[in-house]
Amino acid sequence: MLFTLGPTDDGFAALGHNRTVGESFWVLVEADGRAGWVHGGYVAIPGATNDVTSALPADLGGETMLDVAEAVAAARVGDAPAPRTAVVAGPTVGDLGEVTVDVIGFADDSLKGERLHVFASELDSGEGFVVRTVEATALCARGVTADGLCT
């Protein structure tokens, strides 16, 4: 029987068995007492979370929260080849707009990517959003040190 893990699920454990099939890398995981194989491209170990707002352009924003998330992701990767971006939570709009995106495909073999938790304020004109705070969680490929660094 198949079961599905969502992009922010953390109620599973890697069992320490991996295999390569053709060009694909697979990881054996257990969730709710059931074991199954997950493509290694979809599994990462969360590392340290840091406020990266000050590293972004001051007026970064967009028409929608999805536009804001894409702008933040582009600013984080700079001139690097474009990694994949996937929305994992939101967007929601209340007192602040909020969206969480995974940016996957970094060139560093220990860092699979980042999970960006983006908060933005609606412009006074009501025609768009500007970034207020961005927290980046490292998504590690192999492991994490005690202080949250990818190994």
pLDDT given at position 119: 97
Q: What share of the chain is helix, strand, coil (3-state, %, to 5)?
A: 15, 50, 35
Res. 1: pLDDT tops 80: no
Strands 24-31 and 34-39: antiparallel
List pLDDT tens digits, range 43-52.
Answer: 778 889 999 9
pLDDT given at position 101: 93
Is 1.10.1060 the CATH classification of the domain at 45-140? no
The stretch 25-52 carries a mean pLDDT of 84
pLDDT confidence of 142, banded at 50, 70, 90?
confident
pLDDT confidence of 13, banded at 50, 70, 90?
confident
145 torsion bin: left (phi>0), alpha (psi -120 to 50), beta (else): beta
Q: Which residue has the tokens 């590293």?
A: 55
CB 51 within 8 A of CB 133: yes
pLDDT given at position 111: 86
Domain borders along the chain are: 12-42, 45-140
- As to burial, measured by CB atoms within 10 angstroms (0-12 exposed, 13-18 middle, 19+ buried), residue 103 is buried
Q: Which of 83, 6, 82, 75 is nearest to 38 (CA)?
A: 6
Average per-residue pLDDT for the chain: 85
The stretch 46-66 carries a mean pLDDT of 93
Percent of the chain with pLDDT over 70: 95
Alpha-helical runs (H) found in the chain: 65-77
**Sign, Cα dihedral of 133, 120, 56, 50:** positive
Distance CA 80, CA 62 (A): 21
Question: 36: helix, coil or strand?
Answer: strand
